[in-house]
Structure 1
Amino acid sequence: MLIELSVKNCFVFNNQIVFSLDPTNKTTAIYGPNNAGKTCLIKCIQAMKGILLNQRIEIKSNLFFK
């Protein structure tokens, strides 16, 4: 079970973001305005799943950040 995910310089996230979940809650929704990073957050979660399952993954750093 994913409880917390911390991401920095991955996809569109320049600065570190922390995504926290309540382990007692069975449902989670990710919402926000367009271009806020929702899809990139899902890609980060999928990459973490791939790492844990020892699969080959491709993680791209932010192309718009030095």
Structure 2
Amino acid sequence: MIIENTLEAPLLEFITEERKKCLSAREWKFRLAGFGYGIKEDNGRSFVVQLRNGSDLGTLPSNLH
């Protein structure tokens, strides 16, 4: 059984706003990297990670993949 860790509301809002500014997922991931965040994919799920130490910050909602 996999327990999903949800993102905190301010981080989810930030990530969602950044996605709206981008024309592609690639551009969005590049922008997030500039702020120190990354998207890790595993078993069909996407997770937001902190690039500095690789810590998992939460599961990305399916509408943002």
Compute the TM-score of the two structures, normalised by the length of structure 1: 0.32
Which protein is bigger by CA-based radius of gyration? 1
Identify the structure with the greater helix proportion.
2
Identify the structure with the greater strand proportion.
2
Compute the TM-score of the two structures, normalised by the length of structure 2: 0.32
Higher relative contact order (CA 8 A, sep 6+): 1
